[in-house]
Amino acid sequence: KAAMFGQSIGIQAGKLEDLIVTLKKGLPVSSLNKLCKHMGVPESRLATTVNIAQRTLTRRKLEGRFRPDESERVLRIARLFDRAVAVMGSEQRAQQWFQSPVKGLGRKTPLEFADTEPGAQEVEAMLDRIEDGVFY
C-alpha cells in the first residue's frame, strides 16, 4: 500500500523528492486532460472536483501549468483513481466505481466526495476496506 500513484497523469512512480519538485513547479495542464481520459469524465466535471473554476482553467491553459495548490488537488484525484484501478483490477471498473453513488459516502459518488482532503481520505479508506474484502 506504500506505492506512490500518479501514472494516470504521467507521473512515473519515482522518488518523493522528484514529485515535490514537480508539484512546486506546477503540473502541466495536460495532466488534467490525461486524467479526464483515464477516468472517463468531462473536463468540466473534473475541474469542479479539483476546485478550479472554468475561467481559471482557461488562464492556466494559456500559461501551460497549474499553480502548486491546484497541482496537489489534481494529483489527489489521480492518486485515488490509480489506487482504485489497482484495487478494482481495471480502469473500466475504477471508472464505474468512481461515478456511482456509494451508500457509505452518503450516496455521493467517490468523485464528488473526493473534492476535499478529508473526503479524499475517506475514499482512500473505503478503497482499503474494499481491498481487504469489506464491501458496501
Q: What is the pLDDT of residue 81?
A: 95
Average pLDDT value over all residues in the chain: 90
Cross-strand bridge partners of residue 77:
none
Please state whether the predicted TM-score (pTM) of the whole model is above 0.75. yes
Do the Cβ atoms of 46 and 77 come closer than 8 Å? yes
List, in order, residues 6 or more apart from 52 with CB less than 8 Å away. Answer: 60, 66, 70, 73
- Encode pLDDT of 85-123 as tens digits: 999 999 999 999 999 999 989 999 999 999 999 999 999
Q: What is the pLDDT of residue 7?
A: 78
133 backbone φψ class: left, alpha, beta (φ>0; ψ -120 to 50): left
What would the grid cell of residue 21 be?
519538485
Phi/psi for 18 (5° steps) reads -65, -40
CA distances, 112 to each of 18, 95, 133 (Å): 29, 13, 23
* DSSP calls for 9-70: GT--S--HHHHHHHHHH--BTHHHHHHHHHHT--HHHHHHHTT--HHHHHHHHHH-B--HHH
